[in-house]
Structure 1
C-alpha cells in the first residue's frame, strides 16, 4: 500500500521539520514542539506553505527572531513559519527596504552605512523586521511607527497587498496586521540623510546604555510588560520587592525588574507563573494591572 506524501515530500526545496522543539529558536530557550516548522526563503515559498495550510485547514503561526516571545510548553499545532531566511536588505536614496526576517539590528547598520538617520533607537533591539512592525517595537524614545512608511503583507487568503503608514494603524505595541491576521513580508523605512559618524556614536551610546541596564548576558524574552499609563513597569516591580523572585528556572532579573531571565533550565510554564505572580503582587500593592508586552502563543502542556 502506497503511503501518502508528507509535507516534507511535497515541498523538498523548503526546509521543513516535524515535531520540532521551539526551545531551539526562542530567546528564552523554552517552548514546546511545532507540529510543522517551515523556514521559507522567499515570498513564493511563504505562499506555498500558506496554500498547504489552507488546503489542510491548518492554523498558521508566524515567528520572526523569537526575541519577544513565549511559546507555551504544549507547543504549536498546525503550521509554524520562521521567516529569518527571508532577510534581504537594500537601500535606495533615503529609504531602506528589508525583508520580514532581516534582523532589525542589521537594518540599523545598513542605514548607518548609507548615512541615514532616525533608526538609531533600534540599534540594540534583537527582533526581526516583521516582528518589529507587528509589535511597533520601540526603545529610547523611538518606535517603528516613526520610521516605517509602508509594508508588504500576505493576507490570510494568500494575496500580497501593500499597506501604507496610515493603513498600518500603529499604536503603542500595536499594528493593524495583528487583528487582520496578516503576515508582514517586507517593510520600507523612510529616513533622512545624516552624518555617518554621528549616527554610529548614537548607536554605540544606546547599545552601551542597554548593556549597562539590561540582563543581556542571560536568556530572556526582552521587556515583559507594557508601560502602564503614568508608571514604569520595572519600577513598580522593583518597588513591590520582586527582583530575584523565582519559580523553577525563571527569575525576575536582579539587573532590570522589567525582565524575566532563564537562570536554570526554565520552562515556559515557569515564565508564565512568574508573570502571573508579578501581575498579582503589583496589582495588590499598587492597584495597577501590568499588561504583557511579550507575545504568548501555543498550547498549555497536557496534564498527566
Structure 2
C-alpha cells in the first residue's frame, strides 16, 4: 500500500511540467508491454525530455514512492495486479540520433530497429545483429542484449545515465561491467538516457544485405508475429534453452492462452487472451520439466515485475 499523501504530492509536482496525457493514473500495462499483459500502474509517466525524466525520478525518490523504469516494454512480464508506485517509460523521450565519424549517438528510448536502419544509411556496421531484437536501445544496454554472435558490450563505447538524485553521469565502456545479459545498471538502477556506439565503416549495400539475411532467419525461426517478450530464457552453459525445451516435448505446450511457441521453443507467446499468471505458470512448468528431464535449471531472461492479482 503506497502513501496516498506522497502519491498526491507526486502527481501535483509532475503536473506542473508534464501534461495529463503523459501522466496516466491506473494505466493498464497491457497497453505498454510486448507481451500485451499486465495490470495497472498506479501512475505511468511518459517523459519527453531529460529534464522531465530527472524531475520524475527525483520526486519519486524524495517522496519514497516505489519506482520502476521501462524502455519499450519488451523483455518484461508485468503481473496481473499491476505495479505500485511510479512507472516511467522511456520510449517517448525526445530522440537524439546522429553520427560523428564512426561514433553513433542515440537516445535510449529509440527502438533498436530504427538505430540499425540509421547506422546502415550512414555506412556504419556492427549493430546488424540487433535489428530484430524487440525493444529499445537503452533496454538492450541494460540487459547487454545479443544475438547471432553479436552483443551490445562489443559496440557500446559510452553511456549517459541519471541517478536517483536526477544527476546525469557519463560512463566509459570499461565502467559498464558488462557480462552475459548483465550491465552495471541492473545493480545501480540508474536510468540510461543516451548511448554512444563505436561502429566500423562498410558499404551500405553490404550492411543492408547482412540485415536482410538476419531478419529472414529471424522471421523463419522466431514467432515475431506473436505477442512475446523475446527469448524467454537465458542460454544455460553448454546448452540452448529452446533445444532443451523441445527435447522435453514442450513445443506447443500451453497454459491457458500462454504457449511455448510452435516455431521456436525458446519463446513463450501470448495467443491472444493470456494472463500474466498463465505466462508465469507456463514458465515455471517448463523450468520444472526441463530440470527433471535434463538436470538443467533454466533461468528466465524475462524480468517479472509487479504484483499478482489479489
Short-chain TM bin: over 0.9
Counterpart position of 2:105: 97
Could you tell me whether the CA contact under 8 Å between 2:112 and 2:135 is conserved in 1? yes
Structure 1: stretches of 5+ with no match in the other structure: none
Greater displacement, 188-197 / 155-164: 155-164
Counterpart position of 2:192: 184
SS of structure 1 residue aligned to 2:229:
strand
Counterpart position of 2:248: 240
Of 268, 276, 283 in structure 2, the residue corresponding to residue 275 of structure 1 is 283
Counterpart position of 2:29: 22
Counterpart position of 1:72: 79
Q: Give the 3 Å change call, closer, same or farther, for CA 264–110 of structure 1 in structure 2.
A: closer
Alignment of structure 1 residues 127-138 onto 2, 5 Å: 127-138=135-146
SS of structure 1 residue aligned to 2:239:
coil
Counterpart position of 1:225: 233
Counterpart position of 2:164: 156
Could you tell me whether the CA contact under 8 Å between 2:159 and 2:192 is conserved in 1? yes
Query: Deviation string for 1:29-76 (max 9, x for gaps)?
Result: 100110010000111000111122123211111111112111111111
Counterpart position of 2:214: 206
Shift of 1:88: 2.4
Of 197, 203, 218 in structure 1, the residue corresponding to residue 205 of structure 2 is 197
Counterpart position of 1:11: 17
Shift of 1:189: 0.5
Structure 2: stretches of 5+ with no match in the other structure: 1-7
Query: Deviation string for 1:266-298 (max 9, x for gaps)?
Result: 011111000000000000010000001111111
SS of structure 2 residue aligned to 1:223:
coil
Could you tell me whether the CA contact under 8 Å between 1:30 and 1:70 is conserved in 2? yes
Counterpart position of 2:125: 117
Shift of 1:91: 1.2
Give the Cα–Cα distance (whole angstroms) in 2 for the partners of residues 77 and 11 of structure 1: 22
Counterpart position of 2:89: 82
TM-score by length of 2: 0.94
Shift of 1:13: 3.7
Query: Deviation string for 1:204-257 (max 9, x for gaps)?
Result: 100000000001121111100000000000000000000111111100011100
Counterpart position of 1:140: 148
